[in-house]
Amino acid sequence: MKRICLSVIGLFLVMFAAFAQPGGRDTSQYKPRKLSFEEANLVSSYYKQDGNNSAVEGGRGSEKLSDISNTLDVKFIRWDKQDRKHSYVGEIGMDHYTSASSDKINPNTLSSASHSDTRLYPSFSWNMENLQKGSTIGAGVSLSSEYDYTSIGVHVDYAQKTKNRNGEFSAKGQVYLDKLKYILPVELRTSGNPNSNNGEGDNYSSKSRNSYSGSLSYSQIVNTRLQLMFIADLVYQQGYLGLPFHRVYLQGRPTTAVVENLPDTRMKIPLGFRANYFVGDKVILRSFYRYYTDDWGLSSHTVQLESSVKVSPFLSITPFYRYYTQTAVDYFAPYLTHKTTDQYYTSNYDLSAFNSNFYGAGFKITPTKGVFGIQRLTMLELRYGHYTRTTGLSSDIISMNLKFK
């Protein structure tokens, strides 16, 4: 894991050296006709969790997991002859996790291949902003790949400012085409099952799932202190929407597992609202509310509050808090609770009823002479958050963001 983190940081430093020429010119008014580097961001995080409701073991067992994540994005811009700004963003991400519950897919091994995995997720996006018309169009592609899962995504988006430039309407469409290996729990792998191998090698069959989403939003600058945004999304999923290694134990069958079974379609409707209020030059209050509902019976409410306090011109502190509550899907039940007559069933506690709290703080420094005296390293941000929910799951995450211009 250390090797992965150091490799990504090394890549960032190589790129940093390539662009960090001494005595750089003032680019505040300069509009390059040729492709020009604008900024890069390196975000690294460490996440760990623990709990006792593993879906791999039918709603019981350890949920211990750790994850190291690194993402690097690089942005280039140019201006065309019509004075339109083109932005190109390339991003590469890498996660490496270890999971006690995933290792229970095949508990007969000392440490199976599912105990840990590495995920790679590159993406590329482009957008063109017409400052005179106040419009922006864009598109992008993405890929995510790990041992048992691959996903290809595409998106298009459009935004239009109002005549007075105080409001903006935006629309976005996304499609994700996913493939996952049909890896059953080891005890359910038989030669007569056409959807699994005999437990040896990697010759698993695969299942697909497709996700289609559309998003509409409108933002408005009410006055010099208040900004509002309204968000409406619609998401439709089709295909295999469960996971083949999630066990379910039915009533009266404590030693015989079945694979969770969920509908092959799902419609999701999230509705959101943001409000940012500038108390003064030194304090910004940010709030967010989201209501979510779907046709599996799950509904939820999210409330988030965040404040950015500028301690000095170069240092700000950002405490935050998020409260979340949800109902269970119609198909959830704990260990040994599902009936043999149920058509659909899952013991995944992510789909159960629970409340959660997530709180923490971050600090950001933006010194005029650069972070650690490196002029082009313009920002360092560190954040820490602690998460708890009423099912007993708890987690911690710490992240670092470096910005280079």
Please report which confidence band the pLDDT of residue 159 belongs to, taking 50, 70 and 90 as the band edges: very high
Residue 4, pLDDT above cutoff 70 = no
Cα separation, 188 vs 196, whole angstroms? 9
Spatial contact of 182 and 209, defined as CB atoms under 8 Å apart: no
Extract the runs of DSSP E, i.e. beta strands, from 29-106: 36-50, 65-79, 84-99
CA-based nearest residue to 94, from 9, 19, 175, 155: 9
Please report which confidence band the pLDDT of residue 112 belongs to, taking 50, 70 and 90 as the band edges: very low
CA-based nearest residue to 182, from 169, 193, 191: 193
Q: What is the pLDDT, as a whole number, of residue 99?
A: 86
Residue 196, pLDDT above cutoff 80 = no
CA-based nearest residue to 305, from 283, 322, 280, 325: 322
Cα separation, 140 vs 42, whole angstroms? 20
Residue 239 tokens read as 């295909």
Give Cα separations from 289 to 214, 227, 229, 236, 293 (angstroms).
19, 14, 11, 22, 14
Domains of the chain: 2-21+35-404 (2.40.160)
Residue 297, pLDDT above cutoff 60 = yes
Q: What is the pLDDT, as a whole number, of residue 23?
A: 42
Q: What is the pLDDT, as a whole number, of residue 198?
A: 47
Cα separation, 225 vs 279, whole angstroms? 7
Q: What is the pLDDT, as a whole number, of residue 30?
A: 62
* Top-confidence residue, 32 or 165: 165
* Top-confidence residue, 180 or 114: 180
Across the range 40-66, mean pLDDT stands at 96
Of the ranges 9-18, 163-172, 293-302, which one carries the lowest mean pLDDT score? 9-18
pTM: 0.89
Residue 9, pLDDT above cutoff 80 = no
Burial code of 192-215, b = ≥16 C-beta within 10 A, e = fewer? eeeebbebeeeebeebebebebeb
> What are 312-357's pLDDT values in tens digits?
999 999 999 999 999 999 999 999 999 999 999 999 999 999 999 9
Backbone angles phi, psi at 3, to 5 degrees: -60, -40
Q: CA angle 201-204-205, nearest 5°?
A: 165
Mean pLDDT of all residues belonging to the chain: 90
> What are 235-280's pLDDT values in tens digits?
999 999 999 999 999 999 999 999 999 999 999 999 999 999 999 8
Residue 17 tokens read as 């050296």
Q: What is the pLDDT, as a whole number, of residue 261?
A: 97
- Percentage of the chain beyond pLDDT 90 is 81
